[in-house]
Amino acid sequence: MVTQLLRVCCNRANYTQGQTIEIRVLLTSNHGGKFNFRICPRQTDLTDACFGSNYLTRVDNGQRDTWLTSQDNWVMQYRLPADVSCPNGCVLQWWWMSMQSCVEQGCNPAYCGEYANGRNVVYGSNPGWCYIASGKPEFFANCADIRIMPSGTQPGGDPAPPPTPPPSPAPPATPPPASENQDDNYAQVLGYSWLFYEAQQSGALPAWNRLRYGSSSAEAGLGYRKNAHLNDGADIGKDLSGGWYDAGDQIKCPHPMGWTLANMALSALEYKDTYIMFGEWENAKRGISWGVDWMVKAHVTASDAPSANVFVAQVSNEGDHSFFGRPEHNPTPRPTVLVNSATGGADIAGEYAAAFAAAACVFKDDGNASYAAMLFKRAEQAFAFATEPANQKNYAASGWMAYKTYSWEGWKAHLAWAAAFMCKYSPAYCPAAEQWWNTARTSTLGTSFGYDWDSVLPGAAAVLATLNTGVSAAARDWLETFVMGKWQNTNSRCPAAPYSTVCYTAKGLAWYSEWGTLRNTNNAIFLAALMGKNGATPASRQQHACWARRQMRYALGSWGSDRSYVIGYGPNWPKQPHHRQSACSATYNEPCVLSNGGTCCAGESGTGAGGCCDSANFMAPHPALITLYGGLVGGPDQNDVYPDVRNDYKMSEVAVDYNAGLTGGSAGLAYLLTTGALTSCGAGPGVPPPSTPPSPGPGTSPSPPPPGNPPPSPTPPAPQPPSGPCSVTVAEWSKCGGQDSACPAAAGSCTDAPWPNYCCPSGQSCQRDNGWWWACRQGSAPPPATPSSPSPPPAAASPSPPPSNPPAAISPSPSPSPSPRPPSPSPSPSPSPSPSPSPRPPSVPPGTCISTVAPWTVCGGLNNNCPANVASCQDAAWPGYCCSSGFSCTRDNSWWWMCTPNPTPPPPPVAPTCSNAVQAWSQCGGRSSGCPAAAGSCTDAPWQNHCCASGYACMRDNEWWWACKPAATTSSTAAALVIAATSGEVSIAASTAAAALRRQLVDILVAEAPSRAPVSGPVFVTLTLNRQGDPVSGAKVYVQVTSVSKGKSTTTTLAGVTKKDGTAKIAIPPRARGASGSRSIVEAFTTDARAQGAKAGVAVLSSRKRLTWTG
């Protein structure tokens, strides 16, 4: 059976006479021959004679026939007949004369080539002439309904009659801006994204690499890549050449590489026809094969005995970051780090299994059975290693690693991700996929909504949603309602703590992290595009598709933002990516001499064009000399600001894992565009929020959802619990039904319904909150919800402490995201008011305290276990609940209000008069071969006598570069907390702060310093570094003391190392102090901190503490 696919100008089938249109043809089985297009009006008989009198002609050559070559997909411009109009409709017919069995005689060789000699150029055969020696040809047809309007008429349809005048004058409706209904060239973005992977290739470059040195093409520009690092793996006697460099450096990291490969393969599996249509299928297969072939090499010992398997965890080390030259000249040692039975490491082995299994699915579907079988065998071996009980843990290296799994349960999600792909390849692994999904989903990972190499559970849900397993529906529900609900909640406005939630910037970006936020957003775009195809309902599919489109258009600079963040595409794209080789010239002449952390080649000097390829060149502000087409940079801050500074690795770096979401998202949007799913988006979900976001106070109604958010379908009538005796009586407000991975034995099966054998108390019934939670409430079950007069959605909030129950599914209320969960298992709010338990006490008079609440303890919010002395637990501070002195009840989310310290006004800033004022984003510290004289010595610290402009602080990027960056964005964790208090207050505050914030933060740095101290005598600053509430020992910490004496400001940097209890006590020497009556500014920082999604250490800079010196 031969199948064909006809796409006619984006499915918008309304044209005018003589108009030029684009037509795309995809052949899935090419037999050669020719095809053409012809038209017949519907008001006539659809006969061959009618079609034969109205052929379309090609714009490029004026011909009507296209003679087939080995090319399978065609994109052509055709001109409609100037004398044909059909306001009531025409049929556009594609007519293919296949020449497998014979060749048509008499064609013009200028257009048909070898067909004129009787040769089928697709098969390379000479079957003979049609109707003479070899019989008749085969014919195939495909049709599309179109409408052609007379010239002078708008293509949208017939001229409309004049409108009836309204009773009173009213201004006409303003149509949406044209840009809202235009789409980016997603196919071009997709092609560029694959080209970026070729830029990152290591080893002996393949012949098909379009960027090889000396080559030149319109799509890739001047080639600049050479073979490099051919001896990788020599230290362990293995060939580890090949693969991809991770980012702007030249390290190779299988952890993110495996995750990237699995996403590339998922994109190819879900959108294969789109890849073929736009000519990217071969590039996709080559790219996936290149990466996975290196992963096969990096599986250095492959065995059916699980414990015998050995995998590469990393090639190279931190020394690579000190080299700023081209990869072929990099002399730094490249040690190989291994994962084996002695180290464990289900997280890394799981990514090997996921990459192998995902790629096996691609090549199995493409007909390469033997290659697919080899890859799947490797997947089985990696999965067996990872699931060995002794290996079920995160890999913990003794040395430096660019990537480490942050959550202690992270390995569970990596196994769920791998098992989902293995189930996709072989149903025999579907029970394992169900098991590991349930294991990961019910762990602390169940509240993860970020998606990247470290947080992979949303990806596992997306793969399961394409299958028919026992958990597929639950996985899709969790992904659509919880994960995408977080991302699509436009009521959540920036600023917000990084990694704690998704907030919307003023220009409409869904912002998540300060380290490569567009990496996370594009990954979410890919998830949304997958749900735009595989979502549960038409309404949800439409919502996901339009949200993905809106966010992608921000990233591409076509709507909302004024710039593109994809190099080489769109307006004002990044010119200084954090990438070593791109800062250097594309060509050079040997010999090249190692110099200044790079090389200087023959004729090179200085920086920029014609300059050396070294650290000075990398730090210089010139635009990149090589265009990294398709590279996605990290992206802007919460104010939509993108400095485009090369050395800002958080905002400007590119990486293979950054591009994974861009590749999948652009392929998904190209698919959704060609299927017509984007035609009705308009402004759609995800429009930019108002410039002044609303600030609802306690008890106020939140804003309604933005226009374009389609409400969920009404919930069907709730099933009633079975009549008859029951074995379990459920208490009021407790769970009596719903899906549950830990289903009680008495329930039999836990579905989205009341559980069998479970009964509620007299006068109550089991009522549905969402698919995961049914609870006993007073009254009978409510009638089916109707879409009329919906309640407004809840205001956005930061996450609550994770409960043990699964997240909410879509409820009848048209909320853009599930309700935030309370700190203990309890159902989400009902869409209609439910009777509260009675009796309840009367309201407490204002100003009356009935309970004093300890610091950091709950003092308000919704609560289904509402305290007996509170009349009603609402999204507000509870009446009569008073916080301790110095604390007030503040909102964390609708379920959780707690007593937090009262804000104190910041101390007045010191106006230093430095000998050297440093401009924003310029160097203010670090090692330097050209050390300024005023700095004294240039070490890995801020330079002496150098001060940043007001509002900026000197922050560390690496040992060679400290730069003046905005002080408001100095923290690379969810928040950096500094408690400035007297010694008597610190002990209480420091112990409670970490416990209160540990659900959001990775690291917390606490600094203790006196408010007043004597000029003479010992003065100490005590620093405490906690990680997830536990002390961090052996971390380098620093204190900066800025003092003003006689009108001159001096800054002294003091170092220390934390002890086992996570503390470091650092003395302020006399030279760093001011005169009696003067003030000093004390601030602390560390570069050994951790942040979710971050590679290696990050900088955490504290707030400033004012210290007054006494006599």
Cα–Cα distance measured from residue 275 to residue 219, given in angstroms and rounded to the nearest whole number: 17
Cα–Cα distance measured from residue 385 to residue 390, given in angstroms and rounded to the nearest whole number: 9
What Rg value do the Cα atoms of the chain yield, rounded? 32
User: What 3-state DSSP class applies to 718?
Assistant: coil
Neighbouring residues of 831: CB distance < 8 A, sequence distance ≥ 6: 785, 791, 811, 812, 813
Q: Which of 1078, 1088, 1103 is nearest to 1008 (CA)?
A: 1103
Q: Which two three-digit tokens encode residue 426?
A: 């072989």
Helices and strands: H and E segment counts in the chain = 19, 42
- How wide is the angle at C-alpha 619 spanned by C-alphas 613 and 625, nearest 5°? 50
Catalytic-residue membership of 235: no
Catalytic-residue membership of 1003: no
Catalytic annotation, pick one of 653, 752, 892, 1008: 653
Cα–Cα distance measured from residue 826 to residue 775, given in angstroms and rounded to the nearest whole number: 9
Neighbouring residues of 278: CB distance < 8 A, sequence distance ≥ 6: 73, 187, 190, 191, 670
> Residue 276: which H helix or E strand, with range?
helix 272-277
Cα–Cα distance measured from residue 757 to residue 777, given in angstroms and rounded to the nearest whole number: 17
Other beta carbons within 10 Å of 904: 9
Q: Which of 276, 266, 346 is nearest to 309 (CA)?
A: 346
Catalytic annotation, pick one of 198, 320, 452, 644: 644
Asked if 945 and 914 touch (Cβ cutoff 8 Å), the reply is: yes
Side-chain half-sphere CA neighbours of 1012 within 13 A? 4
Distances (CA, A) of 142 to 6, 26, 93, 122, 804: 7, 12, 6, 21, 54
User: What is the dihedral angle through the alpha carbons of 511, 512, 515, 519, rounded to the nearest 10 degrees?
Assistant: -80
Helix axes 457-464, 430-441, angle to 10 degrees: 140
Asked if 1079 and 910 touch (Cβ cutoff 8 Å), the reply is: yes
Asked if 854 and 842 touch (Cβ cutoff 8 Å), the reply is: no
What is the full DSSP assignment across 552-580? HHHHTTSSSSSS-SBTTSSTT--SS-B-T
Asked if 1041 and 1052 touch (Cβ cutoff 8 Å), the reply is: yes
Cα–Cα distance measured from residue 470 to residue 167, given in angstroms and rounded to the nearest whole number: 60
Side-chain half-sphere CA neighbours of 557 within 13 A? 18
Rounded to 5 degrees, what are φ and ψ at 996? -70, -35
Cα–Cα distance measured from residue 354 to residue 425, given in angstroms and rounded to the nearest whole number: 11
Cα–Cα distance measured from residue 1038 to residue 485, given in angstroms and rounded to the nearest whole number: 41
- How wide is the angle at C-alpha 889 spanned by C-alphas 888 and 893, nearest 5°? 145
DSSP letter at 1 equals -
116: left (phi over 0), alpha (psi -120 to 50) or beta: alpha
User: What 3-state DSSP class applies to 472?
Assistant: helix
Cα–Cα distance measured from residue 567 to residue 580, given in angstroms and rounded to the nearest whole number: 15
Cα–Cα distance measured from residue 847 to residue 842, given in angstroms and rounded to the nearest whole number: 15
Q: Which of 766, 694, 680 is nearest to 729 (CA)?
A: 766
CB contact burial 351-385 (16+ within 10 A = b; e otherwise): bbbbbbbbbbbbbbeeebeebbeebbebbbbbbbb
The catalytic residue positions are 644, 653
